[in-house]
Amino acid sequence: MQRSGLTLLLIGLLGLALGGCMQATLAPSTDASLTPRDRQLLAHPPYAQVNIPESYRRHIVDYSRREAPGTILVDTDARYLYYVLPQGKAIRYGVAVGEEAMAFSGVAAVGRMAEWPDWIPTPEIQARLGPYPARVPGGPANPLGARALYLYEGNKDTLYRIHGTNQPEYIGQAISSGCIRMTNEDVIDLFDRVRPGATVVVLAPGRRAWMGPIAGPRS
């Protein structure tokens, strides 16, 4: 009995040690980044408001990988986007990612940034999901949402984006045509932090950004 008790104690201590590998603190949502136009367009959005699960809401977390501050890393499998901060921290956002075989993976750079961008459906999207107008003007009904970060490889547009959404209910799923979707509030927050030219690392499916078990949010 004594040996069993000691074993259980050691297992419990090991669990606590592993749980401490990655602490997550819920980052309160704020509208401080919203412009007057944002407030106007998001006041009565033409989509249902949803309660994003807490695990996919914005958190400040420990970050043990080697990417430099200012880097964006997307963990495709976990449906998380990390914006790397100094001193071993990152902001973690829940995202929707591309369906299998349609998602971008690799290293790119933020080649362009736009607020409330127009959407120009590609011929592939027109053939698969259309018909759509040749150009959809920016606004809360636009699939690109409030902000878009355009991913480039060198001087070439990859046609993949990190952008807002008019379907926030899909955050945490693999549903898009390859782009990385965020809630409009989160993409506005990210947009204000990112600088043009920032490195974007998108992990392919099966390559998790392992940083230890996630402990529950700290109060």
Which tens digits make up the pLDDT trace of 44-89? 999 988 999 999 999 999 999 999 999 999 999 999 999 999 999 9
Domain that holds residue 31: 2-203
Q: CA-CA distance, 10 to 5, in Å (whole number)?
A: 9
Quick check: is 215 in a domain? no
Predicted confidence at residue 129, as pLDDT, reads 72
Query: Does residue 170 have a pLDDT over 80?
Result: yes
Quick check: is 217 in a domain? no
What mean pLDDT value characterizes the chain?
Answer: 84
Beta bridge partners of 180: 162
163 is catalytic: yes
Quick check: is 169 in a domain? yes
**CATH, residue 175:** 2.40.440.10
Query: Does residue 10 have a pLDDT over 50?
Result: no
pLDDT above 90 coverage of the chain, percent: 62
Quick check: is 176 in a domain? yes
Mean pLDDT computed over 24-30: 75
Quick check: is 112 in a domain? yes
Query: Does residue 139 have a pLDDT over 50?
Result: yes
Mean pLDDT computed over 86-99: 94
Which tens digits make up the pLDDT trace of 203-216? 988 877 766 544 33
Quick check: is 214 in a domain? no
Q: CA-CA distance, 96 to 100, in Å (whole number)?
A: 12
21 is catalytic: no
Query: Does residue 38 have a pLDDT over 80?
Result: yes
Number of domains in the chain: 1
Mean pLDDT computed over 101-109: 83
Strands of 59-62's sheet in order across:
24-26, 59-62, 89-94, 80-85, 72-75, 199-203, 106-115, 147-153, 156-163, 180-181
pLDDT above 70 coverage of the chain, percent: 82
Predicted confidence at residue 98, as pLDDT, reads 84
Quick check: is 216 in a domain? no
Quick check: is 40 in a domain? yes
- Minimum mean pLDDT among 35-44, 61-70, 91-100, 109-118: which range? 91-100
Q: CA-CA distance, 141 to 191, in Å (whole number)?
A: 19
Query: Does residue 3 have a pLDDT over 50?
Result: no
Q: What is the DSSP letter of 88?
A: T
Single-letter code of the amino acid located at 45: P
Nearest residue to 141 (alpha-carbon basis) of 34, 38, 41: 41
Predicted confidence at residue 26, as pLDDT, reads 80
More confident residue, 31 or 184: 184
Helix, coil or strand: residue 53: coil
Please report, for residues 46, 109, 195, the alpha-carbon distance to residue 32 in angstroms, rounded to integers and kept in the order given.
Answer: 22, 26, 19
Helix, coil or strand: residue 73: strand
